[in-house]
Each structure stands twice: as structure tokens, then as C-alpha cells.
Structure 1
Amino acid sequence: MRFTTRRRALVLQKQVNDSLRFNPFVFSRLFFLWVLIGVAGGILAGGYWIVLEHLLEWLEGVQGLLVVPLMMGAGLLAGLIIHKLGDPGEMDLIVNNIRFKGGQLDPHNNPSMILSSLLCIASGGSAGPEAPLVQVVGSTGTWLAQKFRLRGEDLRSLTIAGMAAAFTALFGAPLGGSLFALEILHHRHVVEYYQALIPAFVASCSSYVIFVLITHTGLGPTWVFPLYTPSSINDFFFAILYALAGTAAGWLFIFTVRQCRRGFRKVRLPIYWQLAVGGLLIGIVAYLVPLSRYFGHDQLNELLHDSFSVQFLLVLLVAKVLAIAFTVTSGWRGGFIIPLFFVGAVVGLLINSLFPDQNLPLIMISCMAAINACVTRTPISTTILLATLTGFHSIVPIMFASLTGFFLAPKTPLINAQLGVEEHEE
């Protein structure tokens, strides 16, 4: 019996050694799965983006008072889709599934997520496509893992790789998208997901190439910022100072979202009526302040190219915070990362209007970094994403601003699933 067991062990060892001789490289078959989910993510994100652009071109012609019934109707229709096809959940559910359910995301509700989010975003909701695509591509990673009978960390890593592929396709930053997919899961648990870093990076690179080929988007920055010229080491301290304003805006946003969330919970309407009410509120805000409509991808360039009074910037700041809060809490589908960058840019312009002759690009980038790090608790990936999106060549001031927003964030995060087990117990 012992001889048989030993013989089997020797045979197994020989097979392993033979396979290593046959493949002298670091990569294994899992590498091709990471590439595959990246390609799938690029195709899904590219197709989604093209459809979204066409819908935006069609619906952005609706202006003035007609915006209110349009958005109310879009909310009602999106709610009916969710009611009939199933509720795909929000970012809290995604984070919880990655952390506590072995990294499995359910792909069955993807049709509901795709259709409802397209309606919500295209009609003018203040939420972007990153969150819906994270769910769709991440769950596709789970599906692939199950088809190839992966278990444990391999399954979780492929799911996270799908999430990273979605982030990267939309942000155009493979490294930033990879880190964001890990960091959003909770800063205290990043080490747990370190094994997923390389899969996420490989999938992100693949996704980025495919997305660019499909959409023909440029490889340069998304937002054309004024040229930043570092003056002295004092810029780092100014970045911290400006970040305080961005962090304050983050606190304001979190407070507003929590109040709106309590309000919708008290009402307890069916999902379709809740989204219709949300559409009514967002539509009223968009009618009163048209620049607050949509998720800010194109509107941020308008901020950079036009001049605005202090009074208008204050109104726009309040309107955008309310629009995002109504969008997020009423059940409208979409993510708030790009909208938060928009809010940060408004805060930066407001500071520059109140205290002119300052370093405008430094002010804006600091406020944008601080508010996103404060709300999402992702200081590392926020730094890399912003540097890529804005073409900001000096990354150190962004680091200082991101860390400021992160360490001055509320103890209880906006994304409840980011709470650690010990914090839940408290």
C-alpha cells in the first residue's frame, strides 16, 4: 500500500515536472482566461458605450420643461424593467459578494442592469456607466470561471479581473482601473485580494485595447486641463489645503445621500414608482440648472472652457450634489465616480473665483481627488485615474490631496459593504 502511494506521488511529480519543462514561462492557462475576460469586457463596454452615445444624441435634444416628464417617464420605465427582469442590486451588493460569497456575481440580472442603466444614464441621470458595467463584466468573469470549473481564489480573481476590465474601459487607465477594482472592496482588505492584482492588470490591458478599437476613442486625456507647472515644494502643502475644501464637499455629499436614503425608505414605494419619483426630482433640478444634467463626462469640459460667476457655481454645486443624491438613492442605475469628479471641479472653480490668481489646475485636481477619495475610500487608484484622465503630469500633489480626503473621511463609509466585520460589531 505504501509502495503504491509512493509510486503515485512519483508519477504526479513527474507529470508536474514535464509540464514545467513544456512551459518554461511564468504564465499558465489562467493567463488566457484573464485575457479572455478582458476581451469580453472590452466588447461589452464598447457596445454599451456606442449604444449610450446614440441614446444621448437622441435624448439630449429634449430641453426646457420637457426634461421633467422625460426623466419621470424614463424612471418609470426603468423601474418596470427592474420589476419584471429582476433587481441587479447596487455597489454594496457587489462588494459583499466579492468579500463574503466567494467572489461570485450573479449574471442572471444583467439584462435588467443593462436596459435600466441605459435609460437612466441617457435620459440625464447624474450617474455614470461604470457601476453597471462593473456588475455586468464582473459577473461574466464569474460565469467564465464556473464554465472552466475554477474554485476559490481563482474564481474570485477572475471576477475581480472582470470588474477591473470594466473600470479600465471607461476610464482609459489600465493600472488605475486594476487598483480601483481592488481598492473599492475595502482598503483594509486589499492584501486579501493581492492575488487578483496581476489578473486584473492583464484583463485591464486587454479590455482597454478592445474598447479603443471598437469606439475609436483617443488615447489622450479625457479632460483637457490647463497646463500645470510645478512652482515649488509649497504646491504639496497647497494641495492639502485645497483638498480640505474637496473633503468638505465629500462630507456634504455623504450627508445629503444619507438624508435622501432615509426619505425614500420611509415612503416605501414599489420600485417603479420610486424610480419615477426620483426621475421627477432629478428632472426638476435639471430644468432649473441644465448643467447639472447627465453624469459629467462631457459637462466637465464645459466647466473648463467657459467662465462662470461665483453665484452660479454655488447654485451648480448644490444642484449637482442633489442630483447625484436623488439618482443614487431613488434606485436609478449608475455610478457616482465621474459625477464626484465633476463636483470636485466645481469646488475648485469656486475657490479660484473667490481667491483669484491661484494655480487653477492644482486647485481643481486637488478638490477632485479629495472628494472621490473621501467618498469611495480609494486614494491610490484615485491618484492614478485622475492623472490619466486629466493629463496631469505631476502625480505627487494628487497623492497628497487623495490622502487628505481619505484620512479626513467619515468613519462610517457611504458604501456600507466597505465596513469591516469589527466595525459592523461596533
Structure 2
Amino acid sequence: MTESNARFERIERLRSFLKIGGRRSLYLYCLLTGIVSGLGAFAFSRALAWGEFLMLYTFAGMNNTHPNGEYYVDLNPDPNLRVGRWVLLFLPVVGGLVTGWIVTRFSKDSAGTGTDSMIDSFHNKEGKMEARVPFVKSISTIFTLSSGGSGGKEGPISQIGAGFGSLVATITGAGARARRTLLLAGTAGGLGAIFHAPLGGALTAVEMIYREDIESDSLIPCIISSVTAYLTYSGLNGFGSVYRVPEIGFEEYPELFFYAVLGILCFLNGSLFIHIFRKIQDWAVGWKIPDWLKPAIGGIPVGLIGFFLPEVIGTGAGVLQDALDGKQIFEAYIPNVLDTLGIDKIPDAIGLQEDGILSTTNLQKEFAVKRNLLLVLFFFGFAFLKILTTSFTIGTGGSAGMFGPALFIGGMLGGAVGTVTKMALSTSVSVSSFILVGMGAFYAGIASAPIAGMVMICEIIGSYSLLPPLMVVSIISFVMSHKLTLYRNQKENRFQSPAHYWDMNRDVLEGITVEQISSLLRNIAVVRSSVLLSELEKESMKIQASDYVVLNEKEKYLGILSLRKIRHSPESREFATNLITVGDVADSAVPAASLDQSLASVLKLLLEFDLDKIAVTTTEGKEFLGYLRYAELMKVYFEATVPQKNRSIG
């Protein structure tokens, strides 16, 4: 035995040991996938935090707030390394240049959102993903976001898990169904870890691949992976919700009207977002420049916008945290705008008059109204600018996710509607509640994932108190957005997915192995290779057989001989009667079936080689056991598909 053959046998034995043999072994690999996803999320979040600290906080001098559950570098930047805010004009361009080179050089599948690539892999590639994609995606996204590109970090994190799940399926020799399940399990693990949302991550993974359906078969594996990833990541990073939120809730029924308006606004802005993103994406494809240069070109408008309004670049998570905390995130801009508009500063309180009545001037009321309306305009403006920066960053080939920007845009829309609601109802309306509801509803609309959007937000904040308005707004946004989708590769439902063609056209023979019907094996039309062909032709007339199984001198399977295709002619019979043996004309290219093979694959062999029987050998070697006829296969199929009471009796 050669060294290569020995190595091959060792690999085959290892693969046989690791083989996914059922649901339990699949769940075990989902557990392993979750651990890797959690560790990958931890490593990625650390690397991104250091990149942001160096590029945005040290060089550019930005000082953003961080969400409660997000890791950040708790150090004071070195003032000697500070370049100034003007560097934001160039950082997105440089980051785009590096990202474009990395993606073009090592993996073009790493460009864009990452989620769309995963969905395409699920539907059209049997869950296969190149092993290098998660690594390249992570590196390119770190350069994109730390240099000021607008996007989310969930894309590479989910691809780390998805790539590992696909790799596990390759190593174990898993089929397409198990591979797709592990792909989704890895995606769920990444999302569940980074957003501290074990259930939300699982639901997002199974819901985002369809517009009006869910991949229910993979729900349990995704939950196992997501919970495992969440526990792994939280054990290293700390437990708790992602965002720190004040007291929130839903108590006043009149608020429902404004929540409904928020749902409509989420649909309108979601439609605008998808339209702008698609236009820029298609426009960039037509540029007559190298692909590696395109993300740098997209970084030019991002840098211009970021120089004046740095809040709308990067992940935007810190801005959302400020808005939830009730901080005036626009306080640096409002005084200048008020002064430009000729609006005086708020007058001092006049206090109590001599008669004991509190004096509230019309000027104070007018100022409050104008200031609140200005806040509303800023909320809408930030949402629109985030749409632009994200579209230019990712649409031109940058690498980042879409979930983060969706939360930002929806949060800004919620802040605008919440401010108007507070003005209209004059009650203790929680603007933070509107921000959170907008975050979930906006993603529910653009990704066709209403259940995932609702649950994800509840887990991100660690409370289900906003579930009623979340349900109302998310369903409104989802129903109105039914013809829209952020991801090009989403399918309407499983009936349109190649992943479920087997389900839609189910072959019952796939579920039956040769071993299960081994009692039907025959040994009549069997001949040794040394027999003369002329003698076999005479013998075939007695048993009315046309195809024979041929064995060699050691009783091992040699091939198939079809007398319908090879017979003596009257001229050759006289001269070659005693010359041609069965072994000379047997077709050794016809493979034998094994006991663990499905009847569907056996039927394919019969049709491919135009035979009426196929030899069956042991799984380990070529020990002949008997042959299976086409007639037996049809009998088994008939018994498996036609109910007993409906079978006709001849």
C-alpha cells in the first residue's frame, strides 16, 4: 500500500468518525459552532475598538459615547498624535483604498454587507463558503469602520460563524441540508453574541433569508448556536444589555396614533434607503476604474459629510446611546442654528409675581416650540445623512453590515416622532421608547424580518415592556414594505428556494436504503468472466435475461454485461465462438451499489447506464451480495407512495 493510499484511508476513517449521523450529532456541531462564533465576536470587537481608538479618537479627536455592552479602549488618547478633525476628510478615502485592495486581492465575496453573500450561499451554493471569507471580511470591515466608513459590525461577525459552520460541514462530509443548517447556526451565533440577544440572533438568522417565510427546520440548531455564542462572548466581555436605557414603557393609548405614523415613516425612509443604496451600487458597477479603487471614491462624500457631522459616520452606536440617555446630541449645532435664524436664547424664568401667580411668557412657549421643531429636523437630517454615508460606503464596495445603520436610521426617525408626540400630548412621553421602537421597526421593514426585529430590540435593551408598540409599528412597516428588500438574494418563501427543491419534489426513494430491502436481492443472472460469450447467449434464452452481473475469478464484482448491446453477428459467430469471453466485453465502468446507498441513487444508475439490474456489494469493498432489479425498485416505490386501501387488485 502506497503512502498516499494510507493517508487517504486515514482521512476517510477520520471523516467516518466525525460524520454527522443524525440530529444529535448535528446539535453537537452547532454547539461547537456557537463557541467559535462567540470567540470570533470577542476577538473582532477588540480589534475594531483599537482601530477606532487609534484612527477616530486619537488622530481625529472624536470623543463618542459607547453603548453599555460594547467594548471600548478606556485610555486617554496621546495628544501628540492628534491631527485634528480635518483628517476626517481623508480617513474614509484611505480606509476605502485599503479595504478595496484587500477585498479585490484576497476575496471579492467579502465586499458589501456580508449578509447578502450568506443568503446567496444558503440558497444557491448548498451552504458552501470559502474558508478565507470570514477572515478577509473581518479585516476589511475593521479598516472600513475604524476609518470612518458608515456601517455595522454584525456582517463579519455573523460570517465568522457562518464560515466555520460551512467548514465543519466540509470536514465531516455533510450533505447540503446539514451544511445549510450549520451555515445559519454560525450566523445566529455571531448575531446572538455581539448583540447580547440569543433568541433574537436565532430568529434573525432563520427569518432574513426569506421575505415571507422562515427556515423553521434550522430554528433549534440556530438557538443552540446562538445561546452558546452569547454565553461564550458574555463570559469574556460581561453580561448585560447592549444599550443603557432609562425608564421606558407604553401607557397612553393616544400614543398609538403617533406610533402608527412612525411605522409609515419607517416604510417611506426604508424605501428611500433601498432605492439610494441600489442606485449607488449599480452606478459604481459601471465605473471604468479598477474595483479596488471604487471604495476610495465612495469615501470622498463620506469624508465631506463626516467633517461637518461626524455623528453620521462609523457605527453610530454611541450617538444612539446619547439619544437614549436623553442627552442633547445636537447641542453643538443648535445654538449656531438658533442664532442664524434670529431666535433669542431662552429667557430667564420670571418667577412668582406679587399675586402669587407663576408667569409663563408667550416668548418662552414660542422658543420651546421652535427648539423642538429644530430637534425634529435634526433627527430627520441625521437619518437621511446616515442613508447617504452608508450607501456610499457599502454600495461602492466597502465592507460592513447593514443592521447597525438600520438601527441608527430607525432610532433617529423614532426620536423625531417622539419629540412631536411629546409636544402634541403634553404628557410624560418617553422619547427613548420611540427611538427603540423605530430601531426595530425600520429593520423589520427593509429586511422583511418583523419577528426578528421585535425580539432583537427587546433583548438589546433587556426588557419586553415595549413589545406592544413594537408589534404595531413593525407590522405596519413590514406590510407596507412587502415589495421591498435590502438583500437581493432573499427568496419569497421556501417554495422558490433551491434549498428546498428536494422538499417540494420529494423522492420517497431517498429515504430508503438498499440494506432495508436486502431480502429482495437476487443471484440468478450472474456469470463468471471466464464463460464464453456464445455460451451465455444460449443460456440467456432459458432464463429470459438480457443484463448479467459479471464476477471475476475471486468472486468479486467486475462489471455488467448487457446482451442487448453486445451480441455475436451471424458472420462473427462462426469464427469467434470459442474466442470471446464474458470478461472481454463486460462493462467495468458501471459502478455497483452499496448497502448504505439510497434507492434513489440506485435508480439514477439504472437510468444512466440503461440497465434493468444493478449489482450490490458490501460498503467496505467489492464483495458481491446480489443484484437489485428495476422491477423491485418500482414495487418499493409503489408501496411507499400509494396507500394500501387505494391499491388496485388485479
TM-score (norm 2): 0.58
| Further displaced range: 398-407 or 349-358 | 349-358
User: What is the match of residue 379 of structure 1?
Assistant: 450
1:398 corresponds to 2:395: no
User: What is the match of residue 163 of structure 1?
Assistant: 187
User: What is the match of residue 87 of structure 2?
Assistant: 66
Q: Take 1:126 and 1:318, find their aligned partners in 2: how far apart are those partners?
A: 13
| Further displaced range: 414-423 or 246-255 | 414-423
Preserved CA contact (<8 Å) 2:413 2:435:
yes
User: What is the match of residue 479 of structure 2?
Assistant: 407
Q: Take 1:382 and 1:388, find their aligned partners in 2: how far apart are those partners?
A: 10
1:81 corresponds to 2:105: no
Preserved CA contact (<8 Å) 1:80 1:272:
yes
Structure 2 gaps of 5+ residues are 1-21, 61-84, 331-373, 498-650
Structure 1 residue ranges (4+ consecutive) displaced by more than 6 angstroms after TM superposition: 421-424
User: What is the match of residue 48 of structure 2?
Assistant: 52
Q: Take 2:420 and 2:386, find their aligned partners in 1: how far apart are those partners?
A: 20
Higher helix share: 1
Preserved CA contact (<8 Å) 1:369 1:405:
no
Tell me: CA distance 1:99–1:260, structure 2 relative to 1, closer, same or farther (3 Å): same
1:303 corresponds to 2:323: yes
Q: Choose the corresponding residue for 1:257, options 277, 281, 288.
A: 277
Q: Take 1:262 and 1:32, find their aligned partners in 2: how far apart are those partners?
A: 42
Q: Take 1:251 and 1:201, find their aligned partners in 2: how far apart are those partners?
A: 31
Tell me: CA distance 1:249–1:147, structure 2 relative to 1, closer, same or farther (3 Å): same
Once the 2 structures are TM-superposed, how far is the Cα of residue 137 of structure 1 from its aligned partner?
Answer: 1.6
Preserved CA contact (<8 Å) 1:86 1:112:
yes
Preserved CA contact (<8 Å) 2:192 2:226:
yes
SS in 1 for 2:59: coil
SS in 1 for 2:464: coil
Q: Choose the corresponding residue for 2:216, options 182, 190, 194.
A: 194
Preserved CA contact (<8 Å) 1:138 1:159:
yes
Preserved CA contact (<8 Å) 1:72 1:279:
yes
Structure 1 gaps of 5+ residues are 1-25
Q: Take 2:291 and 2:319, find their aligned partners in 1: how far apart are those partners?
A: 29
Q: Take 1:181 and 1:326, find their aligned partners in 2: how far apart are those partners?
A: 26
Preserved CA contact (<8 Å) 1:240 1:366:
no
Once the 2 structures are TM-superposed, how far is the Cα of residue 149 of structure 1 from its aligned partner?
Answer: 2.0
Larger Rg: 2
Q: Take 1:80 and 1:87, find their aligned partners in 2: how far apart are those partners?
A: 10
Letter paired with 1:390: I
| Further displaced range: 162-171 or 126-135 | 126-135
1:312 corresponds to 2:378: yes
User: What is the match of residue 365 of structure 2?
Assistant: none
User: What is the match of residue 203 of structure 1?
Assistant: 225
Preserved CA contact (<8 Å) 1:117 1:334:
yes
After TM superposition, the structure 1 = structure 2 runs for residues 325-344 of structure 1, keeping only pairs within 5 Å, are: 325-344=391-410
User: What is the match of residue 235 of structure 2?
Assistant: 213
Give the alignment's Cα RMSD to 1 decimal: 2.2
Once the 2 structures are TM-superposed, how far is the Cα of residue 130 of structure 1 from its aligned partner?
Answer: 0.8
Q: Take 1:213 and 1:359, find their aligned partners in 2: how far apart are those partners?
A: 33
User: What is the match of residue 123 of structure 1?
Assistant: 147
Q: Take 1:326 and 1:242, find their aligned partners in 2: how far apart are those partners?
A: 26
Aligned length: 395
Q: Take 1:218 and 1:126, find their aligned partners in 2: how far apart are those partners?
A: 27
Preserved CA contact (<8 Å) 1:236 1:396:
no
SS in 1 for 2:286: helix
Tell me: CA distance 1:217–1:57, structure 2 relative to 1, closer, same or farther (3 Å): farther
Q: Take 1:268 and 1:179, find their aligned partners in 2: how far apart are those partners?
A: 41
Identity %: 22
Once the 2 structures are TM-superposed, how far is the Cα of residue 266 of structure 1 from its aligned partner?
Answer: 2.9
User: What is the match of residue 323 of structure 1?
Assistant: 389
Once the 2 structures are TM-superposed, how far is the Cα of residue 62 of structure 1 from its aligned partner?
Answer: 2.7
SS in 2 for 1:188: coil
Q: Choose the corresponding residue for 1:181, options 205, 210, 223.
A: 205
1:32 corresponds to 2:28: yes
Q: Take 2:400 and 2:216, find their aligned partners in 1: how far apart are those partners?
A: 27
Once the 2 structures are TM-superposed, how far is the Cα of residue 383 of structure 1 from its aligned partner?
Answer: 0.3
Q: Take 1:354 and 1:118, find their aligned partners in 2: how far apart are those partners?
A: 37
1:347 corresponds to 2:413: yes
| CA-to-aligned-CA distance 1:2-57 (integer Å, 9 cap, x gap) | xxxxxxxxxxxxxxxxxxxxxxxx97222221111110111111111111111111
1:389 corresponds to 2:456: no
| Further displaced range: 33-42 or 132-141 | 132-141
Preserved CA contact (<8 Å) 2:120 2:489:
yes
TM-score (norm 1): 0.87
Q: Take 2:319 and 2:177, find their aligned partners in 1: how far apart are those partners?
A: 40
Tell me: CA distance 1:249–1:69, structure 2 relative to 1, closer, same or farther (3 Å): same
SS in 2 for 1:418: coil
